[in-house]
Structure 1
């Protein structure tokens, strides 16, 4: 199931479950994988930023990849970003050998010029091999690397193995429109565009030409429904459902505690046994948990899945 430019729908960014003492919770890895699949996701992305990948040992990264690929039955994208290309190559080649569909590569924060960004991806492809389909992660809010539509086009056109953009620019609607205009004019080969940022702009991103979402909001089933409704031309229904969840989506996007919020809700939904993060980690105060519970109650007025 190698990834290609036709990928669409929702690829959930998977959390990584831990026990309170920091050990991997392998039972919850299966439990969470089943949860995502039952929510109707098209695929999964593991070992991303919200998957706490930098906190994992190399052996743990491979163990999680092996476990998820074996269980999921849907395409798996593996985050392989690393400070050096040797580690990136090792994880990428091993993940593909285990049955992954492709890999995701984020630019290091040190990149500043267009040529530096393009050059970095050229070196990354040389390192992992041009037979591995890869995803560009465009996340300037966290990575501080700004990719213009022109830079993305250069990377896409330089590398046939580049099949997807994980679009997380903010604001980024015009970027989607520009990339699709390149494609319509024959100036860029087709690529899949899946959007992140917790789904915060998914309602309009779909209308600008995105193929779906790649994010980790704790209600991936809502994201699946919004994508389906938009593709069916049911614009108002899509926005109504999205709007009901928007206050919780916004709350989950807080810098510093976003992952804690997400894991708290996933635990309440029964997807993981513990909401623990591996240190260094942030936690939720009783006041924050009460606010989340309040928001869940409000969402449940429209969407019964939030009655937890």
Structure 2
């Protein structure tokens, strides 16, 4: 397990679709979403992340999500998120899905649980030793409640052969990326809905691992940066920025992105589970306007 590489590029973070009342998984929409991402040329997929509302899923639902993703992913590698901050809990989550993840499993995405490298390192070593799965280390203090300095994060990762990538989502993101990308030998990905993507790429990011609802834009800007540097990437990214900004609204970002995917014909519905908040009706028309103004706006298949 974990032998598949976490390559630079764009890793699409999957939403977890639910039935209209939120009581069950919408398996048909999830299958369609995975295949849709495959068609959009992403490097890999991330399931059960924060955008995937993994914390609101039962263990059985998480396992089923992984089964569906593994069956529909084609040849794309997959990173699977872990919500638990304690070692035993993280091991249990990985064991719950490891046997159904298949040979496309690239790594488990584990959140930082301590600001002290001396505590973080044995935690991650214990997870890898018990599961045999490589780790993408996620630094997202807004979710974990744990803040580590970029220098201490570099120190911790330097001690660990099991960490094959870092997902940096601390704020200010560019400042953290400057330290991580220059100090680490493993790829470092930006997140946060792509809000700092251009700056992160300029400072050495390997790409993006995020749930922006127009992943084509992420793919285009990363490709443009590789071929033409900052100016080319800036030109490619500008048409998407109003939607990027609109989607990244605290408290309702999940609902906005799910509605974007519904408007694009990917998901049958945009239901979120508590504690996520539903999309205010007053914003629906504006979201459709922002989406229609992107270079892929003509692909809106469902009326607002």
Structure 1 residues 70 and 297: CA distance shift in structure 2, 3 A? closer
Residue deviations 1:127-176 (CA, integer Å, cap 9, x gap): 44273210111112333322222211222122100111101122222322
Separation in structure 2 between the aligned mates of residue 198 and residue 3 of structure 1, nearest angstrom:
27
Which of 1 and 2 has higher RCO (CA within 8 Å, sep 6+)?
A: 1
Partner in structure 2 of residue 11 of structure 1 = 11
Pick the aligned partner of 1:81 from 80, 83, 91.
83
Q: Give the superposition deviation at 1:48.
A: 1.0
Match in the other structure for 1:235: 230
Unmatched 5+ stretches in structure 1: 184-189
- Partners of 1:298 and 1:222 lie apart in 2 by 12
- Measured on the aligned residues, the alpha-carbon RMSD in Å equals 2.0
Per the alignment, residue 52 of structure 2 pairs with 51
1:127 and 1:159 map into 2 onto residues whose CA distance is 12
When structure 1 is superposed on structure 2, of 264-273 and 84-93 the one drifting more is 84-93
> Are residues 157 and 28 of structure 1, via their aligned partners in 2, closer, same or farther at CA, if it must alter by over 3 Å?
same
User: How far apart, CA to CA, are the structure 2 residues paired with 1:214 and 1:284?
Assistant: 23
| Superposed displacement of residue 4, structure 1 | 6.6
Higher mean displacement: 141-150 or 288-297: 141-150
Pick aligned residue for 1:286 from 267, 277, 281: 281
Provide the C-alpha distance between the structure 2 equivalents of 1:149 and 1:231, rounded to a whole number of angstroms: 25
In the TM superposition, what whole-angstrom CA distance separates every residue of 1:200-247 from its partner, at most 9, and x where no partner exists? 111121111111000000001110111111011253332122111111
In 1, Cα distance between the equivalents of 2:296 and 2:261?
16
Tell me the equivalent position of 1:186: none
* 1:249 and 2:248 are equivalent in the alignment: no
Give the TM-score, by structure 1 length: 0.88
Report matched runs for 1:183-198 at 5 Å: 183=184, 190-198=185-193
The 5 Å alignment of 1:1-308 reads 2=2, 7-22=7-22, 23-73=24-74, 74-98=76-100, 99=102, 100-108=105-113, 111=114, 114-115=115-116, 118-129=118-129, 131-183=132-184, 190-299=185-294, 303-305=295-297, 307-308=299-300
Contact 1:155 1:162 in 2 (8 A): no
SS for the counterpart of 2:210 is coil
Per the TM alignment, residue 78 of structure 1 is displaced from its structure 2 partner at its CA by 0.6
CA contact (8 A) 2:166 2:188 kept: yes
Query: In structure 1, the residue corresponding to 2:138 is in which secondary structure?
Result: strand
Secondary structure in 2 matching 1:164: strand
CA contact (8 A) 1:19 1:25 kept: yes
CA distance in 2: counterparts of 1:118 and 1:59, whole angstroms: 34
Name stretches of at least 5 consecutive residues in structure 2 with no aligned partner: none
Look up the SS of the partner of 1:232 in the other structure: helix
Q: TM-score, normalised by structure 2?
A: 0.90
Distance 1:297 1:21 in 2: 28
Secondary structure class of the residue paired with 2:51:
helix
Structure 1 residues 4 and 26, CA gap change in structure 2 (3 angstroms): closer
* Aligned CA distance change for structure 1 residues 148 and 258 (closer, same or farther; 3 Å): same
Native 8 Å contact 2:55 2:83 kept in 1: no
Distance 1:88 1:238 in 2: 37
Q: Once the 2 structures are TM-superposed, how far is the Cα of residue 94 of structure 1 from its aligned partner?
A: 4.1
Q: CA deviation at 1:18?
A: 0.4
